[in-house]
Amino acid sequence: MTDCIFCKIVSGVIPSKKLYEDNDVIAFHDIHPIAPVHFLLVPKLHVAGLSNCALEHQALLGRLLLLAPKLAGEQGLDGFRTMINTGKSGGQEVFHLHVHVFGGGAVLPKV
């Protein structure tokens, strides 16, 4: 996926403020944060979005969600919000699966 921004971040072609990396997942701070702490959990494997996931991605999806509280805690958050935008009409702009994690500062509005 040569034209995918997040694949380029995974391969190091585009720099990022990385906060975590293992064999399958990387996490980095969002370039346009909407909260005092706002980072993205991204699988190294290129999958366009949640609608493109299948049973083979089940463990990876679990890994992403389990990392959210661990990394949020390391960033000093005692609570946080997760968001997965899916598809254009779901607000997705980068078509490489990612989980937003954000929090800190003011209490988040109820959704």
Which residues make up the interface to ligand 5GP (CB under 6 A)?
A: 5, 14, 16, 28, 30-32, 85, 91-94
Contact of residue 1 among Zn ion, ligand 5GP, none (CB under 5-8 Å per partner type): Zn ion
Which CB, 72 or 96, lies closer to Zn ion? 96
Q: Which of 38, 96, 98, 100 binds Zn ion (CB under 5 A)?
A: 96
What 8-state DSSP symbol labels residue 89? G
Locate the DSSP E strands across the chain.
Answer: 18-21, 25-29, 37-43, 81-83, 99-103
Q: CA-CA distance, 12 to 30, in Å (whole number)?
A: 16
Active site residue 98: yes
- Catalytic (active-site) positions: 98
